[in-house]
Amino acid sequence: MVNAAAADDAILTCDSGTIATWAARHWTIRGDRQFYLSGNLATMAPGLPYAIGIQHAFPGRQVIAFVGDGGFAMLMAEFLTAIQHKLPVKIVINNNNALGQILWEQMILGYPEHGVRYPGPNVDYAAIATANGAYGAKVRQPNDLPGAIQQALSYDGPTLVDVDVNPDEPPLPGKVEYEQAKKFAEAFLKGQPHRSTIATTLFRDKIQQLRS
Ligand SMILES: Cc1ncc(C[n+]2csc(CCOP(=O)(O)OP(=O)(O)O)c2C)c(N)n1
Ligand SMILES: [Mg+2]
């Protein structure tokens, strides 16, 4: 949705985590678009500071940061920097209420997840934006997403759209190796919590794939 609505010269920055997978899959480079991700150490949370720096350098361009809730929680005070400097960066938080990358890493190594989900309910990061004079929207239902994204992209100032997403959506690689599938199954057999919602999501994804 962000990909469809963004400008032809938009710059997308991203955090390390499952967001990197989703962004790499869905961000199309066309026109003068660019894409920035942590180059080598895969550190968490670079999306917001990258966006602030890039927006300073290119005040006229649309700069969007697609970030994780874990990454944003680490550096969220920098959103105040964007507000104070009147930088019109657009932040979109993929809020799975978890350190998603580690969740799937644990399972792919054959272990049930441990200590990677935040206690509910999901944090409302949009409230930080609205409380400080920026545009903020909390999206809890899919139907509310298109309007929130459109409004955020057309708003003249810093914006933050905090989107609650399904934490049990697996970022599967294009080709699943036998060893990966085996370890994944082992994690299930050892008592992976949430295994029924994960299995349901996998099944739904497969049906959608076959339909398209
Ligand atoms: C500074 C730092 N700490 C820890 C890690 C390990 N790590 C990589 S991704 C990740 C979780 C990221 O969570 P979030 O930002 O919510 O993104 P998600 O994977 O849920 O999409 C962690 C802990 C890291 N790469 N860098
Ligand atoms: Mg997360």
In DSSP terms, 161 is beta-bridged to 92, 137
- Each domain of the chain, given as residue ranges in start order, spans 2-211
Q: How confident is the model at residue 112, as a pLDDT?
A: 97
Q: How confident is the model at residue 212, as a pLDDT?
A: 82
Distance between Cα 181 and ligand 2 center (Å): 23
Using the structure block, give the residue that is written with the tokens 């991203």.
14
Residues whose CB is under 5 A from ligand 2 (ion)? 68-70, 96, 98, 100
Please tell me the chain's helix, strand, coil percentages from 3-state DSSP, rounded to the nearest 5. Answer: 45, 15, 40
| Ligand 1 atom nearest to 167, measured from its CA | 20
Tokens representing 136 are: 């903020």
Q: How confident is the model at residue 173, as a pLDDT?
A: 83
Distance between Cα 70 and ligand 1 center (Å): 6
pTM given for the model: 0.96
Distance, in Å, from the CA atom of 18 to the CA atom of 13, rounded to the nearest integer, reads 14
- What residues does ligand 1 touch, defined as CB less than 6 Å away? 15-19, 42-44, 68-71, 94, 96, 98-102
Q: How confident is the model at residue 187, as a pLDDT?
A: 95
User: Are 27 and 94 in contact, with CB atoms under 8 Å apart?
Assistant: no
| Ligand 1 atom nearest to 68, measured from its CA | 15
Which among 199, 209, 171 has a CA at the least distance from the CA of 94?
A: 171
At the topology level of CATH, where does 2-211 sit? Rossmann fold (3.40.50)
How buried is residue 120: exposed, middle or buried, by Cβ count under 10 Å (0-12/13-18/19+)? exposed
pLDDT in tens, the chain (212 residues): 999 999 999 999 999 999 999 999 999 999 999 999 998 889 999 999 999 999 999 999 999 999 999 999 999 999 999 999 999 999 999 999 999 999 999 999 999 999 999 999 999 999 999 999 999 999 999 999 999 999 999 999 999 999 999 999 999 888 889 999 999 999 999 999 999 999 999 999 889 888 88
DSSP 3-state assignment of 138?
strand
Distance between Cα 60 and ligand 2 center (Å): 30
User: Are 52 and 80 in contact, with CB atoms under 8 Å apart?
Assistant: no
Test site for ligand 1: of 41, 101, 105, 166, most ligand atoms within 8 A of the Cβ: 101
